[in-house]
Amino acid sequence: AQSVSQHNHHVILSEAASLELGCNYSYGGTVNLFWYVQYPGQHLQLLLKYFSGDPLVKGIKGFEAEFIKSKFSFNLRKPSVQWSDTAEYFCAVNIAPSGSARQLTFGSGTQLTVLP
Amino acid sequence: GAVVSQHPSRVICKSGTSVKIECRSLDFQATTMFWYRQFPKQSLMLMATSNEGSKATYEQGVEKDKFLINHASLTLSTLTVTSAHPEDSSFYICSAGGSGAKNIQYFGAGTRLSVL
């Protein structure tokens, strides 16, 4: 079975700092990768996803993530964070192929706090 | 993006009573819905996969008779926590994916269950 590891449980940054959140997965086959964000009191929202193709994917709100197959990683980045980015971030994976809604395996989440 | 409505957002009940949580896909047909449980400061743990018109598939360790899932239509799945006890207090989240959603799941806002 696949698993997802997020090594940073809580990250605190000042506004305008750069962000990188780590995500590693364990599965030898083809996977689809996701980053979800959960703002305080709100539901999970999809930030970005990777299915195939260019390993550098861009999502909403200036976020991007890079899939490095050899490292089984899908780290989330943002060059300059804002106070409004304060939220919980979840990395998730499911097993390809695409075409059907398959169950996701989530990492434990990273709480990002951005100080004004 | 697609909208998933989850109701109620919060419920407080006495021990021994049953609680029903509804999950609706508002603007798409969801052939598959998922029910998760989220403990404080932890990730989402998949409880069961619900397919329209068939029995739900439960994850290991989840009691089928305790957590009844019904997916009677393409837009509605329900989770009933039967004879709830304080240890069932948690945050329950549903998600839905359509046949054309290409593995993207859309999440409800969650239901905070508190059993007294």
Give the other-Cβ count within 10 Å of A70's Cβ.
5
B113 in A contact zone (CB under 8 Å): no
Pairing type for strands A19-21 and A73-78 reads: antiparallel
Tens digits of residue pLDDT in B51-92: 888 889 999 899 999 999 998 888 999 999 999 999 999 999
Tens digits of residue pLDDT in A2-38: 789 998 899 999 999 999 999 999 987 888 899 999 9
Shortest CA gap B104–chain A (Å): 7
B46/A44 CB distance under 8 A: no
Interatomic CA distance for residues A31 and A52, integer angstroms: 9
Q: What is the pLDDT of residue A98?
A: 52
- Measure CA A104 to chain center: 13
Specify whether the CB–CB gap between B25 and B2 falls below 8 A.
Answer: yes
Interatomic CA distance for residues B22 and B24, integer angstroms: 7
3-state class (DSSP) for residue A70:
helix
